[in-house]
Each structure stands twice: as C-alpha cells, then as structure tokens.
Amino acid sequence: MSIFPTEPKKIQAAIMRYEKALQTEKRRYGAVHDGGGIRYLLGPLYLLKGDLKGALRSFAWFDKTFPDDIGEPEQYLCWTLALYQAGSTQKAADKLLQTALMNLYLIPRLIGKEEPPLDMWLGSNMESSEYLQYIPPELWQLWDQAALDWAAEVYQSEQFQQIRARYIEIRRQLKHESVGPQRTALVQEAFAMRRLGLGDAAAHSPPES
C-alpha cells in the first residue's frame, strides 16, 4: 500500500507538513530526531512532484543533518535517480552502488533482472527480498527507459559486480561466523563498503587470492 500521494497539491501539502514538523522539532529540542522517519520521505516526494532542485536540496539536507543515518533503500533509489537527472553521473553511480548494497535484490528488480534468493546473513528486514513489496509503485515508475538503461550498464559493469560479489561473500561468512574479532571485522567491512563510492569501494576490497 502506497504512503505517497499522487496529486501535485497533495504532494506539496505533504512536503510542507513534514518540513514544518521537522523545523518545529529543531526549534523545540535543538536537534531533529524524527522518530517517525518522515526525513526519508522528503526527497522522494520532491521527485514525485517533479521538483528536481527541491529533491537535491532535500537529500543534501539529509546528508548534512543525519551524517550517520544509513537511510532506507527506496530513499537511496530516488537519491540515485535525482543525481542522474541532474547530470552528476559519477555521484549517481556511487549512490547506485550504495543503494544496491543496502538491498541486494533492489537494483535487479529495477532493471528487470531476476535475482535468486541469497543464502546469507541479514542485518535487518530492509535487506530482504520481501522488503521490495513495501516500496510504493510510484517510486519505481519515476525511472524512464534512459535512466533504466544507464542503471543497468553501471550495475552490470565488471567493477560493480566485483564489489557486489565481495559484499555477498562477507554476508555469507557472517551467517556462520561466531561472535568474536573475525565477525566484528567482517561486519565493519560490510558497513564500510555501504558508505563508499565505486572507486573507493574497489580500493577498499581485498584482492582475490
């Protein structure tokens, strides 16, 4: 069930309501905690409205205000698209990688590539294939054919697939690794990879033996 309005006036009303709530919280408490998670909705709502500048501004605000927030897959999906539409293709490719590692089934679904179930450790329900059913269809529909072709090309590149393969290998090891230094190191590597761009992640990954 979609939580996003589809009519432009309702989209704008939702944006204004959410932004006002966050601003009120900042004034009242000196910081934005946002227990309801409305911070994840603003960028996608701006894209649904067709306001690219507003979307980019909202994503930049999120990045600055919540630097340690891992975000949500559908939010990052829209963030990737906004960067692509703005012509920042390298930044968009980096964000596509981050999106892909947040949920390994998401980008295959986006580009129409079937992804079989992966036998690996999941840190949260956001990493499962079942999570995709909760992404509003309006967000998938934002991607036109040119954007889909670009995403498929980046996703299927050798570099992207090498990074993804390493990430999956870490997750598979974590499924069987007991609590201890080795497990801690693997968890830290996996989460570090989710923060990096294509070039950085490639340099971060250990060479194959």
pLDDT tens-place string over residues 159-171: 999 999 999 999 9
pLDDT tens-place string over residues 81-122: 999 999 999 999 999 999 999 999 999 999 999 888 999 989
Helix, strand, coil share of the chain (percent; to 5): 70, 0, 30
Are the C-beta atoms of residues 4 and 139 closer than 8 Å to each other? yes
pTM value is 0.91
Are the C-beta atoms of residues 84 and 92 closer than 8 Å to each other? yes
pLDDT of 201 higher than 80: no
Structural domains in the chain, CATH included, are: 8-156 (1.25.40)
